[in-house]
């Protein structure tokens, strides 16, 4: 997305183990790295703003953008919109994520 490395913060609630009962909140967070991604190399391996998405680190960058739609910390609903606008099957992606959970 936007040539930036990102991670998803998905909130999950387990209310029972037997029988297994899991609820997934549909609007967590997407956290983006600040610097556009490049494959790791000797010249960029230490660039934490490219390789890490941790808000505690990225928020100190002068390039960090605070914006709900184009910023470095967005709601998953904005990612879902991006999936739809760029031809990705949002339902399949979420089905795959739920299989992992």
Whole-prediction pTM: 0.82
In this structure, the strands spanning 73-75 and 29-32 are antiparallel
Is residue 90 scored above 90 in pLDDT? Answer: yes
* Contacting residues for 47 by C-beta, under 8 A, at least 6 apart: 35
**What would the pLDDT profile of 6-32 be if each residue is shown by its tens digit?**
999 999 999 999 999 999 998 899 999
Give the whole-angstrom CA distance, residue 66 versus residue 58: 11
């Amino acid at each position: 997305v936007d040539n930036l490395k990102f991670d998803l913060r998905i909130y999950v609630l387990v209310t029972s183990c037997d029988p297994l009962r899991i609820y997934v909140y549909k609007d967590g967070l997407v956290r983006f790295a600040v610097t556009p991604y490049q494959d790791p190399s000797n010249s960029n391996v230490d660039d934490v703003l490219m390789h890490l998405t941790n808000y505690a680190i990225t928020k100190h960058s002068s390039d960090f953008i605070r914006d709900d739609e184009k910023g470095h910390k967005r709601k998953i609903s904005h990612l879902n919109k991006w999936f739809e606008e760029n031809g990705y099957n949002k339902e399949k992606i979420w089905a795959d994520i739920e299989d992992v959970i």
